[in-house]
Amino acid sequence: MDRSKLYRRFRTLLIANRGEIACRVIRTARAMGLRTVAVYSEADRDAMHVALADEAVLLGPARARDSYLNVERLIEAARKTGAEAIHPGYGFLSENAEFARACFDAGLVFVGPTAGMMTAMGSKSGSKALMEKAGVPLVPGYHGEAQDDATLAKAAEKVGFPILVKASAGGGGRGMRVVRSTEELGPAIVSAKREAKAAFGDDRMLIEKYVDNPRHIEVQIIGDSHGNLLSLFERECTLQRRHQKVIEEAPSPTLNAAQRETVCAAARKAAGAVNYVGAGTIEFVSDGKDVFFIEMNTRLQVEHPVTELITGIDLVEWQLRVAFGEALPLKQDEIRLNGHAVEARVYAENPTRNFMPSVGKISTWRLPAETGGLRIDAGYREGDTVSPHYDAMLAKMIAWAPTRDVAIERLNRGLEESDVRGIVTNIPFLSALMTHPKVRANAVDTGFIERELAVLTQATPAPGDLELCAAVAAVVNDERQVAQGDANSPWQTFGWMPVGRRQRNFAFRVGHGAGHGPELKVTLNYGGGLSTLVIGERELAFAIAPKDGGFDLTLDGIKSSVAAVIDGHELYLRTRNGRFDLHWVDPFGGETEEHAGEDKIVAPLPGTVVAVLAEEGAKLEKGAPILTLEVMKMEQTLRAPYAGVLKSVKCKVGDIVQEGVELAVVEASEE
């Protein structure tokens, strides 16, 4: 193979990805003086990465297979724009050997390992065979070529339950299932294969022994074409949900210095088995005593910023320099570990509804400034639309500090100061996670989030006097702002009235829509003197001073900072007591109590029906699976809301359904 075709200097880089990682790569590439080319689907015409790049090329329709996963269109986009190199980001085609080979055949530099290295290490099955030969310790399992049901079932019985059924080509928890019995195995394999095929175009599976109370530790490595191969310390990614990482930190708080050197040496040995070139990650699972190799990711990882912050190294810059054919700028003993970094993934999802993805237009995007050790890698802005066609990650928030405790405090402060509205996000869940005492004490394993889910997603406390007064102040402040363009509006001056002293009554409910629970009433007294708020028998003097993103509320002489967002009658408040969602009851009536009941089997989001799991006329127990949708690259199973009979199924496999469409009818049993 001609090395000059693999690694050479280039001036124009095409980023074959979208969202946060495309924006991340574009920023470093432009800082290095490179011209950047974005690609996009019809759903991403106005996306942030399109706006950041020097040029952008439309690939095709919204579906990933017709756009971001279309190799021919990506190569053609590079040809049309004069791009000499392609950076794949992560996800999509980043670990696809055929794509790397197609780039080489087209005379393009692929910013990553060669197709051969990717085949050897990117396949979980292939890498395990290679590591077994090299003497790297493995989790017991099956990673053979035969993929028939009988072979997989026999392998599972031999390994012993519980096991993991795992996509050979994947990552991010997709195509992965924990199986605890023979009865669960068949459906788990079918579901995992289907999800893996949709996400990666490859449904090959492997079987692994499931390690109880495991910790997930991974090592960042990078190699150049001159034979240099370095490890850049380790990350701990134990806090996961459904095998998808939620919080990552570096270095691992679990390892001591001797263990750190052992696992990093094992990672270099693993990558050295294929003379690896490019950035990659060697992943291990630990049972508290031993560390086992589980896979290699032959690409940049979502969590790479925590490594960058503790080493001072820009990994994207190093990727590009390796692709130029340059030698790595540092030797192993020159890489220093400095402080601690923690990262949280911000997703458009609703933790209180089983983390159902959320789609729609972002009406408010308020994230704190990147100062004081805080870094934010985002792929969205205010006004952008979150599509149902792609991964739900909006941004990553990363905090660095000299110590782990301070890094966690900085990250949590950043989360508390964030407001993203118009869609539902997991920000409150992340904040609850970072303040959990067991997380602070590092007393966790990969099953921690599932066990503590009720605590981590519990409803916020009922609003107190501060929050009810803040709700009134938010409404009044919003009316002031609306009136600023109207010099004749009476709301220009708070407390305006034609004569005498007046009252204005407010009522709120907890939650959104029409809210729930009793009305919480507050009376505003204004005009002809001090303004007060009356709650029950309590009368409180108050004043407000507007500021960006909210206002200062002085209540009985105590000033509090309040962040507030108003969307019609929906109020989002953040006070010193936490986050509160309130519904302002329409003072002129017109409230409706009609809601789509949770008992309806409807599509929660636009998606594709990938499986019908029950037949019409079947008797169902509460929670029995009825059908499965693929939504935002993940499968969502819709279940019976109560015991009854499945009267009808109004869809079939392959149907593309829109949000709110009724998919099945369940008739409750008389019991």
Inter-residue contact 446 to 294 (CB < 8 Å):
no
Active site residue 299: yes
Whole-angstrom CA distances from 539 to 173, 473, 525, 528, 573 are: 54, 15, 9, 16, 22
Which residues make Cβ contacts (< 8 Å) with residue 390, sequence separation at least 6?
18, 19, 43, 64, 632, 633
Closest CA to 310 of 246, 404, 443, 444: 404
DSSP per residue over 129-189, as a string? HHHHHHT--B-SEE--S--SHHHHHHHHHHH-SSEEEEESS--TTTTEEEE-SHHHHHHHH
DSSP category for residue 327: P
Give the H or E element holding residue 73. Answer: helix 71-81
Which residues make Cβ contacts (< 8 Å) with residue 12, sequence separation at least 6?
34, 35, 36, 37, 81, 82, 83, 84, 85
Catalytic residue among 299, 375, 509, 574: 299
Is omega for the bond preceding 140 within 30 degrees of 0, making it cis?
Answer: no
Q: Give the angle 352-192-149 at the CA atoms, nearest 5°.
A: 150
DSSP per residue over 364-385, as a string? EEE---S-TTEEEEES--TT-E
For residues 248 and 231, what is the distance between their CA atoms, to the nearest angstrom?
Answer: 18
Give the H or E element holding residue 128. Answer: helix 124-134
Map 50-66 to HEC letters: HHHCCEEEEEECCCHHH
Per-residue b or e along 496-526, where b marks 16 or more CB atoms closer than 10 Å to that residue's CB: eeeeeeeeeebbbbbebeebeeeebebebbb
Which residues make Cβ contacts (< 8 Å) with residue 150, sequence separation at least 6?
none
Orientation of helix 315-324 relative to helix 19-31, angle to 10°? 60
DSSP per residue over 447-487, as a string? THHHHTHHHHTPPPPPP-HHHHHHHHHHHHHHHHHHHTT-T
Per-residue b or e along 88-121, where b marks 16 or more CB atoms closer than 10 Å to that residue's CB: bbbbbbbbbbebbbbbbebebbbbbbbbebbbbb
Inter-residue contact 388 to 605 (CB < 8 Å):
yes
Q: What is the distance, to the nearest Å, from the Cα of residue 422 to the centroid of all Cα atoms in its chain?
A: 17
Give the H or E element holding residue 317. Answer: helix 315-324
Inter-residue contact 143 to 158 (CB < 8 Å):
no
Q: What does the block give as tokens for 643?
A: 């015991």
Report the half-sphere exposure of 43 (CA within 13 A, side-chain side).
18
Give me the residues paired with residue 366 across strands.
Answer: 419
Active site residues: 299
